[in-house]
Amino acid sequence: MTSATTSVVLQSSDWAYVLENADILFEGTVETIKLTVLAMVLGFLAGFPAGAAEVYGSPWIRKPVWAAGVGLRATPILVILVFLFFVAPFATSAFVAAVIGLGFRSAAYQAQMFRGALQSVDEGQMEAARSVGMTRFQAIRRVIVPQALRRSIPGFQNEFTIVLKDTSIAIILGISELLGVTEDLFLQSGRSGAALELILAASLVYFVLTVTTNRGIEYLGEVYEIPSGEST
Amino acid sequence: MSDPLLRVDDVYKSYGDEDVLKGISFEMDRGDVEVLVGPSGSGKSTLLRCVNRLTEVDSGDVYLDGECVTAPEADVNALRREVGMVFQDFNLFAHLSALENITLGLKHVRGFDDAKARERGHEHLERVGLAAQAESYPAELSGGQKQRVGIARALAMDPKLMLFDEPTSALDPELVGEVTSVMRELAEEGMTMLVVTHEMGFASEAASRMMFLDDGRLVERGPPEQLFRNPQHERTERFLERITRLHGEIE
Amino acid sequence: MSDGTESVRGADVFGGDRPTRSRAVLLVVLGAFWLWLLARWLVEWTGVPVGVPGEPFVDVALVGGPQTPLGVMVGSLPALAVGVYVTVVLTVVSIALGFVLAVPLSVARVYGAVSSYVSLSFTELIRGTPLIAQLFVLYYGLNLSQYFRGLTSFAGVTVDPALWVAVIGFTINSAAYQAEYIRAAIESVDPRQLVAARSVGLDQLDGIRYVVLPQGLRYAIPGWTNELVYLIKYSSLATFITVTELFTAANDVASETFRYTAMFTVVALFYLLLVLTATTIMSTVEDRVAIPGIGGAEGRP
């Protein structure tokens, strides 16, 4: 790494360098967004059934799901990513390894979130549904899940920003996401002085992305809100 | 004479060490309105839930229209189509409008198409006086309105038997009347009803019979006049005296 | 599902339930882990003659030799133990300093006027940007490590200036998150408690200190446990600014021997044990300081 005696002062020439490479930063941002969205989708597709399994599944399903969840939640994402990359099938593509690593880690947390949401729906809702003759599955699908999903929105918002920020860790796999391209830029010879400006610019992008997705999901929540709040 | 509509045969139910139901047996014919009273903890709600198997009996049987519903091979969901239940806490589907609360069962359990379900739904909302609230959500309704939707939801399934689990206990006093008048109309129209309640006014006017449950046992059963004016057991007398003082005199 | 199960509240890692009978097994395993760590640390740095520095207690030849995966794993244990030490130091110091920063931050946010906005801006900025980026700003952007060239040892271990930069980075980051947890906890305390405190004659600051915080901090325990677990895991990011913590130690061995799967499995296990230690300790703490009706018992606010 560099050991330059860099001036801490934010120089305008350094900012000019940032602007010159705005297109590279943009491409990195696109990669970041791709990683985030794919990982969140995978996280939902794996996490929602896992959460439902932990609530409604038989012990044969619950225990392994819970154990897998603990493993994923207790391991640093950095370790998960490198582990996946070197375990053969995924060694072909760093991007795929990153999506799978970020995705399943998110799935483990989303499972917890959905588990909590499903359990928070009042037992009486299930009883009422069963009392009109619905099967357990129908009751879960048509009465419990719609309410649980709405309750999961704040947690989902939170998880989204976590995944977004964690994509920066994919730098270890050499993926050209935002932080990766930023590092490449300031590691180029003679350009270490622009490191501060570059990293600040990248941080600003992350911040804007975070705020935007938070507001976006909040808006979605309002659209699907149950009128005048939820009872029970 | 045809089979009784409901036959409860020597039902026992315990929760851990506690025996909640200790050998309950009775029969109801079509059109009967049976009111179940007793102190809290006497097992009234549990008994009700055993009839539609929301709670499973430990021993004994329940027969609906001749069929044994407590048999292991019995189709619980088919049973519940024929038995409607109204809950103390309403339990309206919070994410659906009043109309949708009713059509959910019609579409997914009875298999109606959307148009027919909505038609039926509107009919029943009108029947309980809530036609204007069809698109309102449970959180927007008063307690009395919510319970009437609950009754409409159960009725729309065209049940043979309606179970009421303390339908007015969670309501403010001034809202009780709108619910009990709906229940009274139902009784007059000939619906078979098993009602757990403290509303003695309803009991004395609408019930064909009353049952007094105490400590898991059926202590006394008979027409309301008998239990109120000529109780055969001292416990019955004491309980009804207390309840009447709390909930008002009956004419 | 609720038959004698004990829930480790707020520790996201475990979700709802952890059966009580495995708790005994867990304590034995954790006890063994920490005993081994202590033994290794003593051997490495204090010349206690129970082993040789750099050499595992179990002879590598006995488990198949230095070429086999198991041999590599066992052979790496001393290096990993040193890495754990750095990870632990990093985590503990950062969360402690972060806490010291977080309390005034959250008090300002809840009770302040202008300071509330300053506090809010700070926490939003820090929580809205990746931890790695923050570390990069400090290490590559501001080049803070140059100021720490002189401080090369901590508690007897030769230490890289980068470690200090990492501590600063983690402290700032952790302070922002802890401030959020503490804020939520303070706000969940009934405002009438402070009114009552004022009515007895305590001023605003004393009221907060003696009435609101003791209750609020107990509500904050689950969130705080989360933060501790988070720091343990994300301390691995210090590897990006050349700190030789646990992940770096494992990565170095892996790239030398090409036994990636083996080494990363071992290191994952180490992190799991560290996380388990944290949640076990916090759950005990929560039980010890529990006041009936505050925080712990039924669901969190």
Residue A25 covered by a domain: yes
Segment (H or E) for C136: helix C131-136
How many Å apart are CA C249 and CA C76, to the nearest integer? 8
Q: Mapping DSSP to helix (H, G, I), strand (E, B) and coil, where does residue B221 land?
A: strand
Asked if residue A73 has pLDDT above 90, the reply is yes
Residue B1 covered by a domain: no
List chains adjacent to chain C, taking adjacency as at least 3 C-beta pairs closer than 8 Å. A
Tell me the pLDDT band of C5, cut-offs 50, 70 and 90: very low
Asked if residue B151 has pLDDT above 50, the reply is yes
**Chain C touched by A200 (CB under 8 Å):** yes
Tell me the pLDDT band of C233, cut-offs 50, 70 and 90: very high
Q: What is the CATH number of the domain that holds A121?
A: 1.10.3720.10
Residue A22 covered by a domain: yes
Residue B146 covered by a domain: yes
Give residue-wise pLDDT tens across range B53-111: 999 999 999 999 888 999 888 888 998 999 999 999 999 999 999 999 999 999 999 99
Structure ipTM: 0.86
Residue A90 covered by a domain: yes
Q: What is the CATH number of the domain that holds B203?
A: 3.40.50.300
How many Å apart are CA B97 and CA B110, to the nearest integer? 19
b/e burial code for range C4-35 (CB count within 10 A of at least 16 → b)? eeeebbbbbbbbbbbeeeeeeebeeebeebee
Q: Mutation target for C interface from A7, A32, A66, A78: give the one with most C CBs within 10 A.
A: A78
Look at the block and give the residue holding tokens 């170095």.
C252
Q: Do chains A and B touch (3 or more CB pairs under 8 A)?
A: yes
Task: Give the DSSP letter of residue C212.
Answer: I
pTM of the model: 0.83
φ/ψ of C241, rounded to 5, equals: -115, 35
Domain that holds residue A186: 4-223
Residue of C nearest to A75 (CA): C268
Cβ–Cβ gap C133/A2 under 8 Å: no
More confident residue, C37 or C10: C37
Residue A64 covered by a domain: yes
Residues in a beta bridge with B18: B15
Residue B242 covered by a domain: yes
Task: Give the DSSP letter of residue A39.
Answer: H
pLDDT at C44: 81
pLDDT at A232: 41
Residue A170 covered by a domain: yes
Residue B167 covered by a domain: yes
Residue B10 covered by a domain: yes
Residue A230 covered by a domain: no
Domain that holds residue B152: 6-247
More confident residue, C3 or C32: C32
Contact (CB, 8 A) for C226 and C149: no
Residue of A nearest to C234 (CA): A76
Tally of domains within chain B: 1
Give residue-wise pLDDT tens across range B195-229: 999 888 899 899 999 999 998 999 999 999 888 88
Q: Which tokens is C265 given? A: 């499995």
User: Could you tell me what percent of chain C has a pLDDT over 70?
Assistant: 86
Asked if residue C301 has pLDDT above 70, the reply is no
Cβ–Cβ gap A131/B138 under 8 Å: no
Residues 164-183 of A with CB under 8 A from C: 165-166, 168-169, 171-172, 179, 182-183
Tally of domains within chain A: 1
